[in-house]
Amino acid sequence: MKLALTMLILILIGTVSAFGQENQKKSQSRDVAVEVIPVLEFPLNLHEATLVKTEKGYGYVLRCRFSSSADVSLIGIRYSLTVIDAVGGGRPITNRIEGFELPAYGTKTLTFPTPIRFKRVDGSRLVMMLEQVVSRESIWEVIKAKDVLEGYVKGDYSIQPHVLRVANQVDAPLQTRVIY
């Protein structure tokens, strides 16, 4: 009796662990890692960028972890996503503007709901570059972002992105004027 009970428990444990490994493989196969080009002069750092297969299977959504080193809240970004494969080299997938609210010196994990559609080829890798960061007071933008991205895709890592900071005159809060 003890032997039969022990065998039953071992079979159940083996089945449960195999089922868990199968589910883990399915969830891992749905995520696609994205390589991020570092832009050191931005007040926003991007970590752990991945493309996650949507539930309905009609594309991928971008999930990122952001951390802010700015003393003001950030309200949006513009980024480019490129796929690099052995056959065609670099091929742009998308260039998007996304809005969000990140408090000063804050950290947040965001999933952007707009799906990205592309056919994934084995052996290809994805590269993402932040081109612009927006706050209510300032806009930080990479100078010649296209050249930096093309150089990175071709393997020239010596081209470093440089950032220009300008005043945001569109989203800036209205100044109150006191008339005496």
Helix (DSSP H) and strand (DSSP E) numbers for the chain: 2, 9
Residues 6+ apart with CB under 8 A from 136: 72, 73, 75, 168, 171, 172, 173
In this structure, how many other beta carbons lie within 10 angstroms of the beta carbon of residue 103?
Answer: 12
Structural tokens at position 177: 């004027």
Q: CA angle, 103 as apex, 99 and 104 as ends, to 5°?
A: 125
Distance CA(122)–CA(98), nearest Å, equals: 28
Which residue ranges form the domains of the chain, and what is each CATH number? 28-167 (2.60.40)
Q: What pTM value is reported for the model?
A: 0.76
Q: CA angle, 78 as apex, 75 and 82 as ends, to 5°?
A: 150
Distance CA(52)–CA(125), nearest Å, equals: 14
Residues 6+ apart with CB under 8 A from 152: 37, 127, 129, 159
Are 82 and 127 in contact, with CB atoms under 8 Å apart?
yes
Q: Give the number of C-alpha atoms closer than 13 A to the C-alpha of residue 135, restricted to the C-beta side.
A: 20
User: How much is the CA Rg of the chain, to the nearest whole Å?
Assistant: 22
Going by C-alpha positions, the residue among 140, 175, 136, 135 that lies closest to residue 161 is 140
pLDDT in tens, the chain (180 residues): 676 666 667 676 766 555 554 444 444 457 889 999 999 999 999 988 999 998 887 889 999 999 999 999 999 999 999 998 877 778 899 999 999 999 999 999 999 988 898 887 888 889 999 999 999 999 999 999 999 999 998 888 888 999 999 988 887 666 676 777
Distance CA(163)–CA(131), nearest Å, equals: 9
